[in-house]
Chain A
Amino acid sequence: MAKVQRLISIVLRLTAAAAAAAAAIIMVTSHETTSFFGLEMEAKYSYTPSFIFFVVAFAVACAYSLLVVFVRPGSTASRLVLMSDVIIGMVLTGAVAAAGALSEVGKNGNTHAGWLPICVQVHEYCNRVMGALIAGFVALVVYFLIIMYSLHELAEPLCSCHY
């Protein structure tokens, strides 16, 4: 039974690493240049600090997931891994929230502040950022599953299933 537990944990962590890597890579490769009314407009992820934070957070989460696969379950390091899982989950939540707020402004603009939406001009860039956000949500859900599964392995507060 311990082998099945370890297998499930490894599969979950590899899925999380893949989703986080996908989110970071899609955001990094979003780049579009367009010109309207003679003005040249370039859209890149590095022009927005929230998107930089998004890329950095998901890259760190991907590397962390790949490293943690090699921790033996039941050792003291596994409790530290659970705590770090919660911390990384909160950081990813903040990153997705910040990137989501900025994407909403980019898509709808803000009439009260005089900010025009940019998605009409750089349509491909907006699609890529949306894809990165979707991958980020998937990675967040998988991280939540990892935390719940680790809690279930370490201390079973609710269920009475015996192993």
Chain B
Amino acid sequence: MLTRTASWTSHSSMDLEHGSKKHSAAPTAATSTSTILQLRDRFIALQPIVLRASAILATTVAAAVMGLNTQSYTAVVAIIGTKPLMQTFTAKFSDTPAFVYFVTANAIAGAYNLVVLLMRRLILQRRTPSLVVHMLDMVIMVMLATGAATAASMAYLGKNGNLHTRWNPICDKFGSFCSRGGIALVSSFIGVALMLALNLLSAAANASRPNVVGQ
């Protein structure tokens, strides 16, 4: 995609040079349009980097917020004689396997995106590593989606409970645990959307190249 747009830019500037013998205002118009084209090329080249950086941010925030999510409160359980008996109730993310999977999936996705972003120059030169990165992008996106779906269904259960199985909701007792979990969930969903956009961008970039593998 980069080589195609670069060749278009050089072709159009050559056209502008050939037609510039009209009057003296044409060279200034030529330079302004070429700078606009340069800015546009730079904007197009930056898109995957910006998307990946945002995906790293979203997934790391989700993993961190859910991983550090803990809340405890002390309540009087019984009164023995005149002495009240206190007990501490704690809610952590590791109480539910769904949240453990959520944190793991987001951490793996953040680390993978960081590695790909740092090793961009090495990886994306040739075609086969670029395709492998595209496949891994899809796998990681689906893993993120399953983690987010699992955590969302568990969060719904924690918020509303289930009357028929006599599971009581826990969000009335652990309010900030639930709201922090909700923030982590929203951040993870944003990460999934960003990785989907990355996938579409990679698919468009890979599809516009000619089929050089068999030649």
| A and B form one complex | yes
B145 touches A93 (CB 8 A): yes
Task: Tell which of A44, A94, A102 touches B146, judged by Cβ atoms closer than 8 Å.
Answer: A94
List A contacts of B150 (CB < 8 A): 97-98, 100-101
Name the interface residues of B126-164: CB closer than 8 Å to any CB of A.
131, 142, 145-147, 149-154, 156-158, 162-164
B167 contacts chain A at the CB level, 8 A cutoff? yes
CA distance A94 to B141 in the complex (A): 12
Number of A-B contacts (CB under 8 A): 89
CB-CB < 8 A to A98: which residues of B?
149-150, 152-153
Q: Tell me whether A75 is interfacial, beta carbon within 8 Å.
A: no
Interface mask (B79-101 → A, CB under 8 Å = 1, otherwise 0): 00000000000111001111000
Interface residue stretch chosen among A3-11, A65-73, A105-113: A105-113
Q: Is A102 a contact of B149 with CB atoms below 8 Å?
A: no
Chain B residues positioned under 8 Å from A74 (CB to CB): none
In the bound complex, residues from chain B placing their C-beta under 8 Å from that of A100 are 150
Q: Determine whether B170 belongs to the interface, using a CB cutoff of 8 Å to chain A.
A: yes
Q: Are B213 and A102 in contact (CB under 8 A)?
A: no
Tell me whether A155 is interfacial, beta carbon within 8 Å: yes
Tell me whether A43 is interfacial, beta carbon within 8 Å: yes
Number of B residues whose C-beta is below 8 Å from A?
A: 35
Classify chain A's interface size.
35 or more
Given the interface pairs A101-B150, A160-B214, the reply to whether A113 lies near B158 with Cβ below 8 Å is yes
Cα separation A112 to B96 with both chains bound (whole Å): 9
Residues of B within 8 A of A47 (CB): 162-165
Contact residues in A for B152 (Cβ distance below 8 Å)? 98
Q: Are B131 and A105 in contact (CB under 8 A)?
A: no
Please determine whether A97 and B146 come into contact, CB atoms closer than 8 angstroms: yes
B166 CB–A CB distance under 8 Å:
yes
Q: How far is the CA of A22 from the CA of B162 in the complex (A)?
A: 26
Cβ contact within 8 Å between A94 and B157: no
**Is B28 interfacial (CB 8 A cutoff)?**
no
Q: Which of B131, B156, B207 contacts A49 (CB 8 A)?
A: B156
Q: Nearest residue in A to B156 (C-beta to C-beta)?
A: A49
Residue of B nearest to A90 (CB): B145
Residue from the list B146, B151, B167, B213 in contact with A113, Cβ < 8 A: B167
Beyond A105-B157, A156-B211, is A93–B206 a contact (Cβ under 8 Å)? no
Contact between chains at A114 and B168 (CB < 8 Å) = yes
Shortest distance between the CB of B203 and any CB in chain A (Å): 9
Where the two chains meet, the residues of B that have a C-beta atom closer than 8 Å to any C-beta of A are 90-92, 95-98, 131, 142, 145-147, 149-154, 156-158, 162-168, 170, 206-207, 211, 213-215
